[in-house]
Structure formats: structure tokens, C-alpha cells
Amino acid sequence: MFRLSGIVSVLLAVFCGAMLFWTSQSVQRAEQRLSEVSREAQNEEETLRVLTAEWDYLNRPERLEALTNGNLDLDAPMVDGKSIIESADQIPQPVVPVIPKVKPANLLQYVSTQKKSAEKNEPAVIEKNDSQDFDKLLNNMATGAGQ
């Protein structure tokens, strides 16, 4: 009986020792990982400090003013008051693009008409048929593409 309890005690002691060893190794691995993460965080913080310093250096008002004066073709404002608009009539009207009233029905027909009209010295424009719906237009384009 004494021998069975001794064997059980030794096995229990070995098991507890193995668990203690496993736990200590796990803690050491976790501490190493923590130190790696801390080191990476410090490197990132240092990088952020350097980038912030560079940003502040590049955004100095004197530097930005020198860059704009050198690269933008801006005239200095007139001091004599000629640059001040006194009425809305002095504002120039925006340029409105001219859109032709007629468009080619399809590209191939336009190209062939353009060749013919170049020979006749006539404008190469095909009149738009208002009664033509979308399906007819697609059919015309499909048959024109096969030519």
C-alpha cells in the first residue's frame, strides 16, 4: 500500500512540475511577444513624429508663398481700383458651346456621306428624323455595321 501511494505522489509531483514548466514557458513567450509589439509601437510613434515634423516643415507659410509666387502665373491685384467691379454688366458672360441642330444617324452612314459630300463640296451631315424611335435606330446601326 505504501508503494502505491508513493508512486501516485511521484506521478503527481512530476505532473505538477511539467505544468509549472509549461506555464512558465507560455509566460516567457507572451513576454517576448509583448516586447516585440512594444518595440513596433515605438517605431511607429517615431515614424509619426518624423512625418509630422516633415509636414510642418513643408507647410511653412513662407515656403508655400514662395512656391505659389514661382509656379502660379497670377497678377498682383490692382490698387488703383480698376479690378473692382461696380455693376453686374461688367462681368463677362460665360461662353456657351454651339451645338449643331443635326447629328449623324450612325457612324458608317456618316462616313460614307462624308466621302460623297467631299466630292460635291456639301456639308456631311445627316438630318435627324424625329419619327425614328430607338429600336429603328438600333436596327439602322446594326445593318450599317454589317456593310
3-state DSSP of 37-58: HHHHHHHHHHHHHHHHHHHHHH
- Residue 108 CA to residue 114 CA, distance in Å, equals 10
Q: Report the amino acid identity of residue 85.
A: I
What is the spatial distance between Cα 128 and Cα 145, in angstroms, rounded to a whole number? Answer: 19
Question: Quick one: cell of 62?
Answer: 513662407
SS3 (DSSP) at 10: helix
pLDDT for 44: 96
pLDDT surpassing 70 at residue 124: no
Total Cβ atoms within 10 A of residue 110: 16
Q: Where are the domains of the chain?
A: 2-71, 107-145
pLDDT surpasses 70 at 47:
yes
Using the predicted structure, report yes or no on whether residue 70 has a pLDDT greater than 60.
Answer: yes
**Confidence class of residue 1 from pLDDT cuts 50, 70 and 90?**
low
What is residue 146's predicted lDDT score, i.e. its pLDDT? 45
- Please give the pLDDT value at position 96: 78
The pLDDT-based confidence of 147 (bands split at 50, 70, 90) is very low
pTM of full prediction above 0.85 = no
Measured CA to CA, the distance from residue 12 to residue 4 in angstroms comes to: 12
Confidence check: pLDDT of 65 > 50: yes
Choice between 41 and 4, residue whose per-residue pLDDT is larger: 41
Over the chain, what is the mean pLDDT? 77
Q: How far apart, in whole angstroms, are the C-alpha atoms of residue 83 and residue 137?
A: 53
What are the start-end ranges of the H helices in 59-106? 61-71
